[in-house]
Homo-oligomer: A and B are copies of this chain.
Amino acid sequence: MTLSLQDCRARDAQDPLRPLRDRFNLPPGVIYLDGNSLGALPAATAARVAQVVTDEWGKDLIKAWNTAGWISLPERLGDQFAPWIGAGPGQVVFTDTTSINLYKVLTAAARVAQADQPGRKKLISERSNFPTDLYIAQSVCAQHGLELVLLEPEEIDAALTPDVAICLLTHVNYRTGAMHDMAAITARAHAQGIVCVWDLCHSAGAVPVDLLGADADYAVGCSYKYLNGGPGAPAFVWVHPRLTDRFWQPLSGWFGHAAPFEFTPDYRPAAGIQRYLCGTQPIVSMSALQCGLDIFTASEALGGMAALRAKSLALTDLFIELVEARCGGHGIGLATPREHAQRGSQVCLTRDEGLGVDGKNSGAYAIVQALIARGVIGDFRKGDGGTGRHKDILRFGFTPLYVGFEDVWNAVEHLRAVLDGGEWREPQFNQIQAVT
């Protein structure tokens, strides 16, 4: 089957989620395939933020903590979002950052593991996990006398042994877009008495997640990628109800207190997920986040996560198919699994080593820069220089809320033009600078 631009347009016309694109302000001339790094701006956000600043803060001042409901925003947003990760009401709060929330839950997990399974000394994770997860794990291990063991994905199953205290995994890998089977791994880990912590940064709002169904123990995730909460918008944390009240987490600030406004000198943790709160939250950023979540709520009438997942897979399938059909002869490979069950909402391409301008690199960075200059925004992740298993990556995120099938066609056409025309060889694309 040879796909055409017209086919892609027809798919957009039939897309039940198409109306959601109008809920975003996308800059003209841009095909945005980096929503897995920073989500696009919801159309409602600017007005909401103006309201918070000018009316709530400006007019109600200190009273706005009550009149505007700032005080309960972490819990209210958590309840609104909970169904999208298979969590129940009262189980999720938005607060702080992913790194900080991970520190909270890893410490709680270490305390649970040391109480229930004393003597276990290993915390296992994936070597290609997002680095901040490994840095935080390093710190928690040092504080609790645990050993951090890093594995390749195919080694995980065999490593779920009774000497392991905690298994920390990111559900969808940030580099490759490969997705773990959360339920299967959690079941195998639990059978060995291992506590499971899941990072949902690249899956929340992007793929179906069922934390209670998978019987997970702890989860964290960010809101500035697929949830479109804005740069650095507060992250979320979930704890299985059987574990929430067993220990307090170490960031025992006043917002996690059972009665913060009694101002008593002794810490008495709140019951439930509220004890995972710590200090005063950035209300302007958190209010902006609500506009992102509201789009998910609106999507329920259009099919919700089932429809989002179906479209996401259709978009990534299409991208893979078109790249392979139209961009041959340039050493482009696929780093993302073809199997739907193992794929998140992104596609990562590789380029054979030695094809860069100097014959030493892959040229992937320069290709990404040339695409950005054409308005196709993806990003680049460095490999390990041809010495190991990780190649340089051209990374493209497909957010089904606002990316369409014609966008995919056009993105591939730009990629083809960059490759065929040797555009990436231009000097301005070949100077590697700081990449965010």
Pick the contact of A284 from B32, B134, B278, B288 — CB < 8 Å?
A: B288
Copies of this chain per assembly? 2
Interface string of A240-258 (1 = CB under 8 A from B): 0000000010111111010
Pick the contact of A282 from B37, B54, B285 — CB < 8 Å?
A: B285
User: What is the distance, in angstroms, from A40's C-beta to the closest C-beta of chain B?
Assistant: 7
Q: Is the CB of A251 within 8 A of B377?
A: no
**Distance, CA A64 to CA B40, complexed state (A):** 12
A217 sits at the interface (CB 8 A)? no
Sample of 13 A–B contacts (CB below 8 Å): A49-B53, A53-B288, A97-B279, A99-B253, A103-B250, A131-B263, A134-B266, A138-B266, A143-B250, A231-B284, A232-B282, A233-B282, A285-B285
A234 sits at the interface (CB 8 A)? yes
**A62-B436, A135-B267, A284-B288 as given contacts; A53 in contact with B261, CB under 8 Å:** no
7 nearest A-B residue pairs (beta carbon): A97-B279, A99-B253, A282-B285, A99-B279, A231-B283, A132-B254, A135-B267
Residues of B contacting A188 in the complex (Cβ-Cβ under 8 angstroms): none
User: What is the distance, in angstroms, from A15's C-beta to the closest C-beta of chain B?
Assistant: 22
- CB interface residues, A 194-223, toward B, < 8 Å: 222
Pick the contact of A58 from B27, B96, B286, B435 — CB < 8 Å?
A: B27
A318 sits at the interface (CB 8 A)? no
User: What is the distance, in angstroms, from A142's C-beta to the closest C-beta of chain B?
Assistant: 8
Q: Is the CB of B132 within 8 A of A253?
A: yes
Pick the contact of A50 from B25, B46, B230 — CB < 8 Å?
A: B46
User: What is the distance, in angstroms, from A100's C-beta to the closest C-beta of chain B?
Assistant: 6
Pick the contact of A231 from B57, B231, B278 — CB < 8 Å?
A: B57
A427 sits at the interface (CB 8 A)? no
A302 sits at the interface (CB 8 A)? no
- CB interface residues, A 125-158, toward B, < 8 Å: 127, 129, 131-132, 134-136, 138-140, 143, 150
**Distance, CA A131 to CA B266, complexed state (A):** 8
Interface string of A261-300 (1 = CB under 8 A from B): 1111111000000000011111111101000000000000
User: What is the distance, in angstroms, from A385's C-beta to the closest C-beta of chain B?
Assistant: 12
**A64-B231, A279-B99 as given contacts; A27 in contact with B59, CB under 8 Å:** yes
The interface stretch among A65-73, A76-84, A350-358, A405-413 is A65-73
User: What is the distance, in angstroms, from A73's C-beta to the closest C-beta of chain B?
Assistant: 9
Q: Is the CB of A100 within 8 A of B100?
A: yes
- 4 further contact pairs, Cβ within 8 A, besides A32-B61, A97-B279, A233-B282: A41-B53, A64-B231, A100-B278, A135-B252
Interface string of A19-52 (1 = CB under 8 A from B): 0000001010010101001101100011001100
**Distance, CA A98 to CA B255, complexed state (A):** 12
Interface string of A384-401 (1 = CB under 8 A from B): 000000000000000000
